[in-house]
């Protein structure tokens, strides 16, 4: 993996200072997703940051699943996350880690807090707990259970673990400060009773630790040096530090926050992505219209393009609201250099070449990329009937039109100049066929005495392969569909986010493997579908991105 030089940012400056001062001999980061959904473009930013820093500074990066909420977590999600990280080009340090690896240690540390008088078992209901917690302007009130002795709390906590009490009836809370201006420090819950089958521990536990408690201890046990998270956890940092300062853990990582990524004309909330999937507004988590990594991969986005996007948008604490065109531009730039070029017609209009002569009208070979001769060549055959794009013909064209018109000439890409002699229409007046003549003196050279400016793409009807083409566009019409307090984000769904058409492509694409990317000349970049591209049966292509940004127009 060879990417452009990284961009300096404040986290790099912190790391470099820590290494220079000898505070750390090497850095250790981690990527800690919850396996309750598929990763999206916001996670890609975090992946590139955590794994990228570890690579750049010869450190390590762990993949650790936060599996503390068993009702929403599945092996499917965990497997998909691992696949996505590797697809982006990264490899984690050692084995995959899980918060559940530390359940016994987390429980033991909870008993340590209880023994120090720093945690207590509370009987308040969730509603009462919210009332006691206070507000941003009013301090909280101590629970009546706050005065329980360590011995009493230890007994109750052990009985919670043993399953004596019903779900939700008791919690374990850290005893910190009910008057703190930071509501996160007002005796936060660190354990709750929840009888739910866990994907790894089964039914061994009926109490589960909360994320804020679990995360910092997991970091410490793994000796993470820099715990990087998004800005919504900034107010949680005092709790992160408090837990570690009061326990006999082997390390005290530093939590550092950066701004999360917000991408226009889409949503990245897992809840809303799940809603789109469950309500069938999209086909699945890997629908190419979604900002999930599985979806972007199926659409044809490249790992290098996504990594470049993450590099280009940078790391800061300021808002990171990015237009979709920036991401598409990175993908387009990567594909420009890497994708072979072929011709395909996706809105076909039949053209009959009236003076085609078998054995006289010749074919030519053409390279797959003008700047990469190592990509090789293919034969571009011609036949009496060819397909062109309907958009390349107009009976009454505007000024400056350089494509086909009645009596007009164009060059067929890699082939002859042709002239439109006759227009055939159906009963409704629609153009259904053009009859054209070939200038046989123009194969590989310009016509004598006249200039033909227009060049159009085409395919031979006798040789072309039928293809299904999925034309994907933005999923939402609004730049920020989930920012409207009085309207549902689903109201802004783009009804034209997917159009499926049937077209024709050069026969050479029959040899393509799934996920092969092409530039269909003059049309855009397309990718052979991961699952629906089956040579000899079904050739399905997904439009990855257009040749230019057309959304703003």
Q: In what order do the strands lie in the sheet with 207-209?
A: 119-122, 171-174, 189-193, 207-209
34 classed as catalytic: yes
Catalytic residue of the set 173, 260, 297, 341? 260
289 classed as catalytic: no
**Measured between alpha carbons, how far is 7 from 25 in angstroms, rounded to an integer?**
23
**Measured between alpha carbons, how far is 329 from 307 in angstroms, rounded to an integer?**
12
Closest CA to 337 of 292, 374, 310: 374
Closest CA to 382 of 446, 433, 436: 436
Closest CA to 401 of 415, 391, 388: 391
Catalytic residue of the set 270, 307, 332, 543? 270
3-state SS record for 137-185 = CCCCCCCHHHHCCHHHHHHHHHHHHHCCCCCCCCEEEECCCCCCCCHHH
Catalytic residue of the set 30, 34, 257, 341? 34
Q: Contacts for 203-210 with beta carbons within 8 Å, 24 or more apart?
A: 205/103, 205/161, 206/160, 206/161, 206/163, 206/167, 207/107, 207/160, 207/161, 207/172, 208/68, 208/69, 208/70, 209/68, 209/99, 209/103, 209/106, 209/107, 209/110, 210/68
95 classed as catalytic: no
Q: Would you call 438 helix, strand, or coil by DSSP?
A: strand
The catalytic site residues sit at 34, 260, 270
């Amino acid at each position: 993996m060879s990417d452009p030089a990284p961009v300096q940012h404040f986290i790099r400056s912190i790391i470099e200072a820590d290494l220079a001062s000898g505070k750390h001999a090497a850095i250790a980061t981690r990527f800690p997703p919850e396996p309750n959904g598929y990763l999206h473009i916001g996670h890609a930013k975090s992946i590139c940051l955590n794994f990228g820093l570890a690579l750049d500074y010869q450190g390590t990066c762990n993949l650790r699943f936060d599996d503390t909420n068993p009702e929403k977590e599945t092996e499917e999600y965990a497997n998909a996350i691992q696949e996505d990280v590797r697809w982006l080009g990264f490899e984690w340090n050692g084995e995959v880690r899980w918060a559940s690896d530390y359940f016994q240690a987390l429980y033991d540390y909870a008993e340590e807090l209880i023994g120090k008088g720093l945690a207590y078992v509370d009987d308040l209901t969730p509603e009462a707990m919210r009332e006691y917690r206070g507000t941003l302007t009013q301090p909280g009130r101590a629970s009546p259970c706050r005065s329980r002795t360590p011995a009493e709390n230890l007994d109750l906590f052990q009985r919670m673990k043993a399953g004596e009490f019903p779900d939700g009836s008791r919690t374990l809370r850290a005893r910190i400060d009910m008057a703190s201006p930071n509501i996160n420090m007002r005796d936060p819950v660190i354990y709750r009773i929840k009888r739910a089958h866990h994907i790894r521990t089964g039914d061994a536990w009926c109490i589960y630790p909360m994320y804020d408690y679990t995360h910092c201890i997991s970091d410490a046990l793994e000796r993470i040096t820099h715990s990087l998270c998004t800005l919504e956890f900034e107010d949680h940092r005092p709790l992160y530090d408090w837990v570690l300062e009061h326990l006999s853990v082997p390390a005290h990582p530093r939590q550092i926050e950066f701004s999360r990524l917000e991408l226009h004309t889409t949503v990245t909330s897992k809840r809303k992505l799940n809603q789109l999937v469950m309500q069938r507004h999209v086909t699945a988590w890997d629908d190419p219209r979604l900002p999930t990594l599985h979806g972007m991969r199926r659409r044809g986005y490249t790992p290098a393009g996504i990594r470049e996007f993450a590099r280009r948008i940078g790391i800061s604490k300021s808002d990171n609201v990015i237009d979709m065109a920036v991401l598409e531009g990175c993908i387009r730039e990567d594909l420009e250099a890497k994708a072979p070029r072929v011709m395909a017609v996706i809105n076909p209009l039949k053209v009959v070449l009236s003076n085609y002569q078998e054995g006289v009208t010749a074919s030519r070979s053409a390279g797959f990329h003008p700047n990469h001769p190592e990509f090789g060549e293919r034969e571009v055959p011609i036949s009496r009937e060819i397909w062109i794009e309907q958009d390349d013909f107009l009976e009454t064209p505007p000024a400056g039109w350089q494509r086909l018109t009645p009596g007009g000439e164009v060059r067929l890409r890699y082939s002859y100049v042709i002239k439109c002699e006759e227009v055939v229409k159906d009963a409704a007046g629609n153009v259904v066929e053009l009859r054209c003549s070939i200038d046989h003196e123009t194969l590989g050279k310009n016509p004598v005495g006249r200039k033909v400016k227009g060049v159009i793409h085409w395919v031979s009807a006798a040789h072309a392969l039928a293809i299904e083409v999925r034309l994907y566009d933005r999923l939402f019409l609004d730049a920020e569909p989930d920012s409207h307090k009085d309207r549902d984000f689903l109201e802004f769904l783009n009804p034209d986010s997917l159009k499926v058409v049937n077209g024709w492509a050069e026969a050479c694409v029959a040899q393509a493997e799934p996920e092969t990317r092409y530039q269909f000349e003059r049309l855009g970049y397309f990718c052979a579908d991961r699952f629906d591209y089956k040579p000899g049966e079904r050739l399905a292509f997904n439009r990855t991105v257009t040749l230019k940004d057309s959304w703003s127009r």
